[in-house]
Structure 1
């Protein structure tokens, strides 16, 4: 089954309706019973925050200019009609009348906000040199795993098995205090794994918005945090999640901020429930930009997860999600920024149009101080007047029409216009190869992929008994994470990637944008958010080759994970712990 078939089962994110969160919540119900769900009420906040913000349709048009013009003008018509019936003209001419976009409130997006890998490793080296007290079990700053700490065996000591530089932290809980041992011995229902040592697996991640729908943003953030734990092939989902949230002070009014923040939280919690993970706490602060993420933890015995360090020559490499999410979400955001700019130009042109139609000295057909287009005049005169305050409304209306419309807008409007002009420049580079409909489809696939949990893939790779190493693809791109994985292997091996499964149209877009240097998708360094697992499969104990094992994994994943696709993308060869994309790499558009 293709990704297009999977898209038919879900609401298309590019058709996001800010008022219809209940429809999305019905599609993503938590598996727990109603009484077990965390208390969260969104209806009141959604109604207050989004009552004026409705999405229009997405017509299939060949040129972006026509697509943007029609969307903006349709929205403009709705808002001006609303203004005529409900508000004085100058009260509606502000950014609150724009279509709601979550990405408007952050410059950085998704895992693209990560510090570059090379710079991060330099920071870690410098940090270690600046430490004023010795740190035991501190992972080597090159991203390599640390060795177990054998310098001390006092009760409560821990041993870092996997540390800085990889997807999650793995700490062996080597010994309990005598009091703890006594307590556990006396507990009737205490879990026991015999003499097996227990390991604490913990991971954290958070980032800024990269999609427009706050609910979907919360789901993607949760899937991204959990993915780092799934990259260890865990059978058991993380037992606890601490949610980290920043409510954006730049989102005004406060009712809108409350609605957006709580809706992001709802998406995050629902995704955790779907994974079988409970949100047990966290931290919520104010920040200029919205932010969401978390800290996931689980304690497991050694046989319940995979240490990602055993790749061998001859292994076959599999990827479980397509690439190109960064390109897709940026193209879609450019369409939105162009629409915002066109909308503001319509507001500016309103001044000239009104003066031509109604004359400079006229009251511009105001009814009880409210601007009324000719088509609405008869209906509007039946609206009850506001009483003595109408004189003030007339004065506001006259002032609004005697000065530049843009001068009345907040400073963010000028930023919006600048973003629209820059988006137009970027989009002009790819306009001949992609239509708005192509971009909307790519954005929908990217959202579907980012919100998809890697849980099934993690379970299957551990059950296969043939997975030797695994990581997930996020902010450093497929090659960046493959290089990091290669450096962590016990054996001197290289990883060669000869197939790149990429969301349809994103290859041509990447090549058209600064010759592939803007996102570096084909170079393997384009940031992915909540990307797929990159798995190295070896031959099985039944003498099946690594190719056969990998192919059977892809087939079984499609069976148990709602037809979700996976692809064989490379192989492991003898080498010096490096990774590379081959010159003759095959581009597989999906």
Structure 2
């Protein structure tokens, strides 16, 4: 999540030293709303903040976003650089959110793409269920997932959004201190999303792990012996599943150092819609 004077990376948060051994941490993001009901965007209070005067603007299109800023001591944030061989990679939300929203809009518009490519893969009823599950997933905060990282000794983390799971894994691997390789061997996808992606061009297939997500989960490098407890504790706090999706290994060759890749034995996990709460 954080970048401390790293250059040529695509991590989207900065860590800036200020006075008294404190750090200013900030990220900014804006995008067009991709759901119909603006009320489902209301997460500010749950996140421990609020929308105040001076933070809103008039615009002819619905736009959502903002800047998140914190000033904290070193003990309250985790730099993304300390993964070690033997760590595992945990993903805290399923994939397929952006695809679900896009396909749902195609269905509403009865577009040619929906009629010609999607209808052989999914019914309108299942498409609506997939969309609802994606909306619930996007509305779920990463707050508990982030807090538990401190308790369970997480060593690196990134969110999974516009670059997809593999894209963000590559960005995270690139800033590791150790010469490691991230290998992803499982991809949890909202039920139906993987098969739906296969109806589209190859670049949209979920098994590339490069398809964009909206409000995705965290991809966390954590000691293997602590991962199961982390997943259990997170489920007890917010009722949602997380998955061990890969591992951190010693780079097999110098060229593999600080890179990420998909396993040749990649497994797709279908995540039931009713498990997303």
TM-score by length of 2: 0.90
Partner residue, 1:296: 68
Matched, 1:276 2:48: yes
Partner residue, 1:447: 135
Between 1 and 2, higher relative CO (CA 8 Å, sep ≥ 6) is seen in: 2
Matched, 1:478 2:165: yes
Q: Contact (CA 8 Å) 1:167, 1:472: kept in 2 or not?
A: no
Partner residue, 1:142: 8
2:260 is aligned, of 564, 579, 586, to 579
Residues 5-20 of structure 1: pairs in structure 2 closer than 5 A = none
Partner residue, 1:549: 226
Partner residue, 1:173: 18
Distance in 2, Cα, partners of 1:280 & 1:424? 43
- 1:446-474 Cα distance to aligned partner (Å, 9 max, x none): 0000000011111111111x211001001
Partner residue, 2:275: none
Partner residue, 1:64: none
Distance in 1, Cα, partners of 2:213 & 2:148? 23
Shift in Å at residue 428 of structure 1? Answer: 2.0
Partner residue, 1:9: none
Distance in 1, Cα, partners of 2:88 & 2:44? 31
Q: Contact (CA 8 Å) 2:4, 2:16: kept in 1 or not?
A: no
Name which one, 1 or 2, has greater alpha-carbon Rg.
Answer: 1
Shift in Å at residue 283 of structure 1? Answer: 4.3
Shift in Å at residue 431 of structure 1? Answer: 1.5
Distance in 1, Cα, partners of 2:51 & 2:176? 34
Shift in Å at residue 504 of structure 1? Answer: 0.5
Change (3 A) 1:280 1:317: same
Q: Contact (CA 8 Å) 2:106, 2:113: kept in 1 or not?
A: no
Partner residue, 1:96: none
Matched, 1:560 2:237: yes
2:156 is aligned, of 464, 469, 472, to 469
Q: Aligned Cα RMSD in Å? A: 1.8
Shift in Å at residue 279 of structure 1? Answer: 2.9
Shift in Å at residue 288 of structure 1? Answer: 4.3
2:112 is aligned, of 411, 416, 424, to 424
Structure 2 SS opposite 1:277: coil
2:94 is aligned, of 306, 322, 325, to 322
Structure 2 SS opposite 1:462: helix
Partner residue, 2:254: none
Matched, 1:210 2:15: no
Distance in 2, Cα, partners of 1:523 & 1:571? 18
Structure 2 SS opposite 1:273: coil
Shift in Å at residue 285 of structure 1? Answer: 3.9
- 1:33-74 Cα distance to aligned partner (Å, 9 max, x none): xxxxxxxxxxxxxxxxxxxxxxxxxxxxxxxxxxxxxxxxxx
Shift in Å at residue 500 of structure 1? Answer: 0.1
Change (3 A) 1:442 1:585: same
Structure 1 SS opposite 2:39: helix
Structure 1 SS opposite 2:100: helix
Unaligned runs of 5+ in 2: 252-256, 272-277
Shift in Å at residue 206 of structure 1? Answer: 0.8
Q: Contact (CA 8 Å) 1:470, 1:485: kept in 2 or not?
A: yes
Q: Contact (CA 8 Å) 1:310, 1:489: kept in 2 or not?
A: yes
Q: Contact (CA 8 Å) 2:145, 2:234: kept in 1 or not?
A: yes
Distance in 1, Cα, partners of 2:18 & 2:7? 23
Unaligned runs of 5+ in 1: 1-136, 144-164, 176-196, 220-266, 339-422, 539-545
Structure 1 SS opposite 2:70: strand
Matched, 1:491 2:172: no
- 1:488-536 Cα distance to aligned partner (Å, 9 max, x none): 111111100000000011111111213x33x232111111111000000
Structure 1 SS opposite 2:46: helix
Residues 346-495 of structure 1: pairs in structure 2 closer than 5 A = 423-464=111-152, 466-495=153-182
TM-score by length of 1: 0.43
Distance in 1, Cα, partners of 2:115 & 2:179? 44
Q: Contact (CA 8 Å) 1:317, 1:571: kept in 2 or not?
A: yes
Partner residue, 1:506: 193
Q: Contact (CA 8 Å) 2:161, 2:212: kept in 1 or not?
A: yes
Structure 1 SS opposite 2:12: coil
Shift in Å at residue 290 of structure 1? Answer: 2.1
Change (3 A) 1:201 1:425: closer
- 1:205-232 Cα distance to aligned partner (Å, 9 max, x none): 110021111222xx2xxxxxxxxxxxxx
Shift in Å at residue 140 of structure 1? Answer: 4.7
Partner residue, 2:215: 530
Distance in 2, Cα, partners of 1:425 & 1:166? 33
